[in-house]
């Protein structure tokens, strides 16, 4: 069985006139030798985390934003995010 590797190699800030600014994360999943990439917002991570908490005890996710508009953990190199969901 091949291990599944998940990483968050980048993120960006999005702003538009309809919604308040938000952060979009690029998620790479390497599974069975194939690389899959998808982009998700913090709110989607939070919803997934809430769902997972019903059946398992995942580690706490980093808080949403700091004064800069990016998750607080990113100011420390994003290390907290890289270890949240290891498969």
* The predicted structure's pLDDT at residue 86: 52
Q: What is the pLDDT of residues 9-47, one digit of tens each?
A: 888 888 887 878 888 889 888 989 999 999 998 888 788
* The predicted structure's pLDDT at residue 58: 67
Q: Comparing 70 with 17, which gets the higher pLDDT?
A: 17
CA neighbor of 42 nearest in space, from 6, 74, 75: 74
Question: The whole model's pTM is what?
Answer: 0.59
Residue 69, Cβ neighbours under 10 Å: how many?
13
Q: Where are the alpha helices (DSSP H) in the chain?
A: 42-53, 79-82
- Domains in the chain and their CATH numbers? 1-60 (3.30.1520.10)
Integer CA distances (angstroms), 37 to 28, 29, 61, in order: 4, 6, 21
Report d(CA 22, CA 44) in Å as an integer.
12
């Amino acid at each position: 069985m091949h291990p599944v590797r998940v990483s968050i190699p980048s993120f960006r800030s999005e702003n538009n006139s309809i919604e308040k600014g938000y952060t979009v994360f690029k998620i790479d999943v390497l599974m069975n030798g194939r690389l899959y990439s998808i982009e998700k917002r913090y709110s989607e991570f939070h919803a997934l985390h809430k769902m997972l908490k019903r059946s398992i005890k995942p580690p706490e996710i980093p808080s949403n934003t700091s004064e800069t508009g990016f998750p607080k953990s990113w100011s420390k190199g994003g290390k907290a995010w890289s270890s949240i969901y290891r498969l």
